[in-house]
A and B are shown apart, each in its own frame.
Chain A
Amino acid sequence: MTGSGTGSGPEVAQVSGSVEHLFRHESGRIVSYLTRLLGPEHMDLAEEVVQEALLNALQSWSYSGIPTNPAAWLLQVARNSALDAIRHRRVATDKEPALVAELTSASRAPRPDDVIRDANLRDDELRMIFMCCHPVLSPEASIALSLKTVGGFSVREIASAFLADEATIAQRLVRAKRQIRDKGLSLELPSGFDLRKRLDSVLDVLYLMFNEGYDAHQGEELTRQDLCLEALRLAQLVAVSSMGAPRVDALVALIALQAARLPARTDGLGDLVLLDQQDRSKWDKHLIRLGFYYLDRSIAGKDVSPFHVEAAIAATHTRAATMEDTDWALVLSLYDQLLQLKPSPVVALNRSVAIARVHGAQAALEALDPLEGELALKSYYLLPAVRGQFLAELGRQEPALEDFRRALALSCNTPERRFLERKIAQLEQPTPYRT
């Protein structure tokens, strides 16, 4: 786009009154609020009504500018249009009089007690997350549903983050909503032990959502960052609520500290930059502060969850000014602990990298041996890639090359592919000036 010729205003002006992700976040809150009022079986209507409200805002504010309280404006318009839908389409007949009363009393006067209103909306959002993460739903369904309803993502955006086609995601959402209806899931929070179990399933879903964004092997970089930050926002929402617990704080810390590295993870060309090559000044300082704040909170109590240990590992990397400064002995002992709490071949694979730093590549190579037959790692490109790296460090060029080529044959995204190709090129022609 070219300038208008007058030249007095800045070309890309900061739009005053605009709040980052306002539409997305308000959409999530209002959908949750209306779903509580209308009942989970009418979630579609809630989503529809909110979409209309956003569209209305877009068309009005384009001419009048953004109002002083855009969130209240959106809530008001959504309430009115829900009311309209109830009157004309006669949904939720048994609850209609109560609903109309709630919606009209709410719309009569914009209340001065915005603080209470905010707290109530947050509570609705929280209940919605807990319902979306109900264990009867598959984790994939929970992630998609949370992103759609509470996150305010569109089907297309979710599909692009997962590199799935839109029809698949749409189908997954329809099925999840049908399950909610058929199984009569409600927004009531369970109590006692069931609440603890439900909280664990919420945390697992948020952890997966984050990882999906963080090391997804495919998908668009930008959408994936949105996914990471949404997982962070939702985890924080749980952490500051009455559901908060040390392991929730640990999850927030873990996500924040890892997400802080996102800006340094790819270079200008979109190529992958590994931890040892990252420009650490690009790490997001706000997220680092947030991460350490929650890490401190997570130490309250005697609960030690895998999230605690993973957060501690991330914190150890963050504290180091350079790769060489990293306290690798600490990292390794944390991985030992993590492996005890969460025995998984992926953890063992990551642990081998710490072994290489502490005891050398030969020891690391030996630590990989037991992972050879692991089904979970069968098509995971990182296993041969990591082994190739160890072999290269030991000067065993031929087997290293073989491993990098094996890695390349497995599924990985374009930056990862280019990274492997660079490694192969370096090993084939070890010219000293090209590292």
Chain B
Amino acid sequence: MSSYFLFLYDDPTGWTKLSPEEMQKALEKYVGWSQKATSAGFLRGSHRLAEDAGRVIRGAKVTDGPYSETKEILGGYFLIAADSYDQAVQRSLDHPHLEYGGTIEIRAVHPMHEQK
């Protein structure tokens, strides 16, 4: 089993069009996915990231974070267990983030850093 990061990107302004009831429906789907992943035993962690741009340090120069060209920003991540990219993709395909128009970037943790 290796660890995979799922980085969730989306355009946060898209959510402002939802009604309270629709927001709750969305929330239930997200939380439902996490609960399912937890009971299936492959969810290892998750965090929401602050909405600011962050900081970037290059050499000794500190700047405000990377403004991407698109409106999509990195909103948070999940860390999951999987045997392969294939399985990681399989386990992410039913994530509601995709249904709501977001993007998921999957990155494997380097095998050297995996604890047995």
Contact = CB atoms under 8 A, between A and B. Distances in A.
Interface in A1-32: 1-10, 12-13, 15-18, 21-24, 27
Q: Taking chain B's interface residues, is the majority helix, strand, or loop, or is none over half, making it mixed?
A: helix
B27 interface: yes
B20 A23 contact: yes
A152 interface: yes
Given A1-B94, A3-B94, A61 B31 contact: yes
Interface string A260-302: 0000000000000000000000000000000000000000000
For A17, A58, A63, A152, the residue with the greatest tally of chain B CB atoms inside 10 Å of its CB is A63
A310 interface: no
Given A15-B28, A58-B15, A59-B12, A6 B20 contact: no
Interface in B6-27: 12, 15-16, 18-24, 26-27
A23 B91 contact: no
Interface stretch (A97-105, A153-161, A191-199, A249-257): A153-161
A434 to B, nearest CB: 41
Contacts of B92: 4
Interface stretch (A49-57, A326-334, A341-349): A49-57
For A59, A62, A152, the residue with the greatest tally of chain B CB atoms inside 10 Å of its CB is A62
Nearest to A151: B20
A27 B20 contact: yes
A62 B46 CA distance: 9
Name the interface size band of chain B.
Answer: 35 or more
A63 B15 contact: no
B63 interface: no
B24 A23 contact: yes
A340 interface: no
A65 interface: yes
Interface stretch (B35-43, B53-61, B64-72, B108-116): B35-43
B21 A16 contact: no
Interface residues of A, number: 40
A60 interface: yes
Contacts of B90: 4-5
Contacts of A22: 24
A242 interface: no
A16 B35 contact: yes
B1 interface: no
A23 B21 contact: yes
A152 B22 CA distance: 11
B94 A2 contact: yes
B93 A58 contact: no
Contacts of A9: 35-37, 39-40
B46 A64 contact: yes
Contacts of B23: 23, 54-55, 58
A5 B90 CA distance: 7
Contact of A62 (B18, B22, B31, B37): B31
A15 B29 CA distance: 8
A64 B40 contact: no
A66 interface: yes
Contacts of A54: 20, 23
A94 to B, nearest CB: 31
For B27, B28, B32, B47, the residue with the greatest tally of chain A CB atoms inside 10 Å of its CB is B27
B24 A8 contact: no
For B20, B40, B48, B90, the residue with the greatest tally of chain A CB atoms inside 10 Å of its CB is B20
B32 A6 contact: no
Nearest to A66: B31
Contacts of B16: 51, 55
Given A4-B90, A64-B48, A55 B21 contact: no
A4 B94 contact: yes
A21 B34 CA distance: 21
A2 B99 CA distance: 12
Nearest to B31: A15
17 contacts: A2-B94, A6-B91, A7-B40, A8-B39, A8-B41, A9-B37, A15-B31, A18-B24, A23-B20, A23-B21, A24-B21, A51-B16, A55-B12, A58-B30, A61-B31, A62-B27, A156-B19
Given A23-B27, A62-B30, 5 more contacts: A5-B90, A17-B31, A152-B21, A153-B20, A154-B22
Interface of A: 1-10, 12-13, 15-18, 21-24, 27, 51, 54-55, 57-66, 152-154, 156-157, 226
Interface of B: 12, 15-16, 18-24, 26-28, 30-32, 34-37, 39-42, 46-48, 75-76, 78, 87, 90-94, 99
